[in-house]
Amino acid sequence: MSGGTIFALSTGGLPAGIAVIRMSGPGVRFGLETLVHTVPKPQRMTLLPIGNPSGVLIDRGLVVFFSGPRSFTGEDMAELHLHGGRAVVAAVLEALGGLQGFRPAEAGEFTRRAFEHGRLDLTQVEGLADLVVAETEAQRRQALRQADGVLGTEYEGWRQRLIRARAMVEAELDFPDEDDVPGSVSEAAWREVRAVAGAMATHLDDGRRGERLRDGCEIVVLGPPNAGKSSLINALARRDVAIVSTEPGTTRDLIEVRLDLNGYPVTIVDTAGLREAAGTVEEEGIRRARARAENADLVLWLNDATGPSSPPPETSGQPVLRLGTKRDLIDPDAEGTPASGGFDLLLSATTGAGLDELIGRLGDLTEDTAGVADVPLATRARHRAAVATARAALAAALDGDGQPLELRAEDLRSATESLGRLTGRIDVEDLLDVVFREFCIGK
């Protein structure tokens, strides 16, 4: 990405009712004077004729000008709200491309300029990217909080507290003979370091909750052949996503379905029936099923309630919900309670009996596992890894009582740098392309 004035279509596919073309950079005022023959008052929409540099009218639309630094990118910006026909948009883009110093924007370049001008930190940029692709209400709320700076404020607050602590420690280190730097000054610093380390530990104790909310909880469906796994998947998805057959071993590979349960994202995984495999392909499907269950947030263990049930396989501590299927084939007089036969719930994919209760239980689980919290949550592995690195450096500094003060001060410096990389304060050049390439061209 280089300088100049950039422009791009910021709305979706054409044709459309409205199309918005954005500009940002030092030549925005010149571009407006050329295409609409005026620079409107900032932050005020104005209906104006829009033409090319030769004076040929292209369209009439709403024009809004944002004067830097009071704009999204921190520099002069403008938006042209046009009719969304392909010919209209192509003509305006061609006119802008012919202006000196103007060029099409690259993916994420508007947001990158906002970062480079201090309008957003990296966590806000990531929150904005998540907001653009949010699929559920919970994802939207979490992404909006992060885009508003809640997470970045938390990390920057820790960093500033550690900087002050470092200042006190290094004052004692560099000026031990000064009367106004008493030998006990670093004691207050270490109290502050302990407090920050405790806050980091609590943050990490939330584990992957923020990541689960961003990426979705994973529920793996296991059971013997013909237990009704694929039928359940189809019933939950309300469409045919898996082949249903009375022939054992029909499902051999993993089938994933994305669902919105009570506003929370969930991935349900259909798997091969667990049995002594009849062939190499089916054996590989069973191996993948067991491996996927080891990393799931919940395992649904299905058994045909009309026949003998088998116990679920051992997992690595994941909760298991035991479901009896084909409830519609059970004699009503012998059904008993929903938990009869050792099942947590009886259901029928054919009649829908028990599905609402199952969906309610799954929704409660996802809310408990990935619900939007009052405290900021790490939403990416990058966040969690950086906080863990900083926490380890603080632990080394606190456990180093008796070690040279220079070494403990170095541990504090390492912790502050890890936090600085989270928000983009220092040494993040290698992260920028990864972060900004998630955006579309007009953002």
- Tens digit of pLDDT for each residue in 356-383? 888 888 888 777 766 666 678 888 889 9
Query: What phi and psi values does residue 412 have, to the nearest 5 degrees?
Result: -65, -40
Report residue 422 as tokens: 């989270």
**pLDDT above 50 (res 338):** no
What total of structural domains would you count in the chain? 3
Same structural domain for residues 267 and 313? yes
Single out the residue in 80, 96, 116 at which a domain terminates.
116
CATH of the domain at 365: 3.40.50.300
Give me the pLDDT at residue 337, please: 45
**pLDDT above 50 (res 339):** no
The lowest-confidence range among 25-39, 244-258, 316-330, 419-433 is 244-258
Looking at the domain assignment, is residue 12 inside a domain?
yes
Looking at the domain assignment, is residue 49 inside a domain?
yes
Same structural domain for residues 109 and 150? no
Looking at the domain assignment, is residue 429 inside a domain?
no
Query: Cα separation of 246 and 15, whole Å?
Result: 47
pLDDT greater at residue 81 or residue 311: 81
Confidence bin at 353 (pLDDT 50/70/90): confident
Section 344-349 average pLDDT: 88
Confidence bin at 391 (pLDDT 50/70/90): very high
Tens of pLDDT along 114-150?
A: 999 999 999 999 999 999 888 888 888 889 999 999 9
Same structural domain for residues 15 and 142? no
CATH of the domain at 77: 3.30.1360.120
Per-residue CA distances from 308 to 88, 229, 313, 315, 347 (Å): 68, 16, 16, 22, 16
pLDDT greater at residue 82 or residue 136: 82
Same structural domain for residues 348 and 223? yes
Per-residue CA distances from 152 to 7, 155, 159, 213, 356 (Å): 29, 5, 10, 18, 39
**pLDDT above 80 (res 229):** yes
Looking at the domain assignment, is residue 352 inside a domain?
yes
Residues 68, 76 contacting (CB under 8 angstroms): yes
Burial environment of residue 343 by CB neighbours within 10 A (0 to 12, 13 to 18, 19 or more)? buried
User: What pTM was computed for the model?
Assistant: 0.76
Query: Cα separation of 142 and 139, whole Å?
Result: 5
Single out the residue in 63, 98, 116 at which a domain terminates.
116
Looking at the domain assignment, is residue 280 inside a domain?
yes
**Sign of the Cα pseudo-torsion (350, 269, 255, 259, in order):** positive
CATH of the domain at 157: 1.20.120.430
Per-residue CA distances from 279 to 156, 176, 249, 283 (Å): 56, 76, 10, 6
Same structural domain for residues 362 and 224? yes
Beta bridge partners of 219: 268, 298
Same structural domain for residues 165 and 244? no
Looking at the domain assignment, is residue 443 inside a domain?
no
Same structural domain for residues 286 and 245? yes
Query: Cα separation of 217 and 357, whole Å?
Result: 19
CB atoms within 10 A of CB 332: 8
What kind and span of H or E run contains 6? strand 5-9
Mean pLDDT of the chain: 83
Same structural domain for residues 108 and 202? no
3-class DSSP assignment, residue 408: helix
Query: Cα separation of 236 and 218, whole Å?
Result: 14
Report residue 277 as tokens: 């495999």
Domain containing residue 325: 218-370
Looking at the domain assignment, is residue 431 inside a domain?
no
CB atoms within 10 A of CB 186: 21
Looking at the domain assignment, is residue 442 inside a domain?
no
Q: Which residues contact 174 (CB under 8 A, 6 or more apart)?
A: none
| Amino acid identity for residue 392 in this structure | A
Tens of pLDDT along 145-202?
A: 999 999 999 999 999 899 888 888 877 766 555 555 455 566 788 889 999 999 999 8
Same structural domain for residues 127 and 194? yes
Query: Cα separation of 93 and 355, whole Å?
Result: 52
Same structural domain for residues 197 and 60? no
The DSSP 8-state label assigned to residue 257 in this structure reads: E
pLDDT greater at residue 142 or residue 65: 65
Alpha helices in 216-331 (DSSP H): 229-237, 280-294
3-state helix, strand, coil in the chain (%, to 5): 45, 20, 35
Nearest in space to 68 (alpha carbons), one of 102, 114, 101, 106: 114
Same structural domain for residues 57 and 166? no
Same structural domain for residues 360 and 292? yes
Give me the pLDDT at residue 294, please: 84
